[in-house]
Amino acid sequence: MSPSGTILLNQLHEQNTVETIGRARSQFHGSNEAFAELAEQYTSLAPRLRGKFLRMYGLSSEDSYFSQGTDLSLAVSAGMGHFLRNLVLSHRPARILELGSSVGVSTLYFADALCKLGRGTVVATELDSAKCARLREHVRMAGVESYVDLREGDVFQTVAELDGFFDFVFIDVWADTYLRLFRQIERLLRPGSIVLADNMYTAEDAVGTYKDYIEKNPGFSSTTLDFESGVEFTVVVS
């Protein structure tokens, strides 16, 4: 990553943390002391329990009904970003499909890996035009424009217009659309393709049908990675 790209990503992670805490605080109907206590409990929980904990207190931000149209970036964590980058560096996909790009934090990790490899494209998808404008600006600031193909608009429409194969897909739109979306992209996958789906813990109920579909299909091999949000790591076997 260029020095300017690293500084930018650090700022975006910091901004995401502030947004997330601010959002949780505004949803929590209690004193500052009680909120601080909850925050302490949250950090001491195992990742797979955190989604349930947030839902129990009505603090979840991974919710389409509340998050659509707001400027919350809902970005992956730095740890997850580094993992995504390493996965691309080892798997070396020529094309990456990112479903739900927001302001481009995960896009920047993908583009940085492709830049290191010296080839490839990440097809980024985002509905919100204000987020698309911020993503374009971030990609320009990091100097990775030639590795990013942003498709602004509804992801279902975008996916319907794609052809060829993708060896790496990252699903990070609203969780209740995962299965419908996955069924649409199956034709773009081939044996060896990797599909990562975020929010398996944070939106456990909404992603249930997706997880069930993947687990019951012998053509896929899948496991949930214990990142804070819970990430389904699926490999297309046949």
Residue nearest to ligand SAM (CB): 100
CB atoms within 10 A of CB 60: 21
* Structure tokens that stand for 23 in this block: 């959002």
The single-letter DSSP state of residue 75 is P
Window 79-118: contact mask with ligand SAM (x via CB under 6 A) = ---------------------xxx--xx------------
Residue 93 or 100: the one with the smaller Cβ distance to ligand SAM is 100
Dihedral sign (CA 170, 174, 180, 181): negative
Q: How far is the CB of 178 from ligand SAM (least distance, A)?
A: 11
Q: How far is the CB of 95 from ligand SAM (least distance, A)?
A: 17
**One residue of 112, 126, 167, 228 binding ligand SAM per CB under 6 A:** 126
| Total number of residues that touch ligand SAM (CB under 6 A) | 19
**One residue of 83, 174, 182, 210 binding ligand SAM per CB under 6 A:** 174
Residue 181 to residues 40, 87, 109, 158, Cα–Cα distance (Å): 36, 22, 23, 11
Class of residue 102 by CB neighbours under 10 A (exposed 0-12, middle 13-18, buried 19+): buried
Q: Give dist(CA 192, CA 132) in Å, integer.
A: 30
Q: How far is the CB of 124 from ligand SAM (least distance, A)?
A: 9
Q: Give dist(CA 177, CA 191) in Å, integer.
A: 24
**One residue of 8, 24, 54, 75 binding ligand SAM per CB under 6 A:** 75
127 contributes a contact to ligand SAM by CB under 6 A = yes
Q: How far is the CB of 143 from ligand SAM (least distance, A)?
A: 18
* Structure tokens that stand for 38 in this block: 């909850």
Window 151-170: contact mask with ligand SAM (x via CB under 6 A) = ---xx---------------
Q: Give dist(CA 23, CA 145) in Å, integer.
A: 31
β-pair partners for 124: 98, 150
Q: Give dist(CA 114, CA 198) in Å, integer.
A: 21
232 contributes a contact to ligand SAM by CB under 6 A = no
Residue 174 or 210: the one with the smaller Cβ distance to ligand SAM is 174
Residue 101 or 193: the one with the smaller Cβ distance to ligand SAM is 101
Residue with token string 């299965």: 179
Q: Give dist(CA 104, CA 102) in Å, integer.
A: 6
- Would you tell me which residues interact with ligand SAM (CB under 6 A)? 73-76, 100-102, 105-106, 125-128, 131, 154-155, 172-174
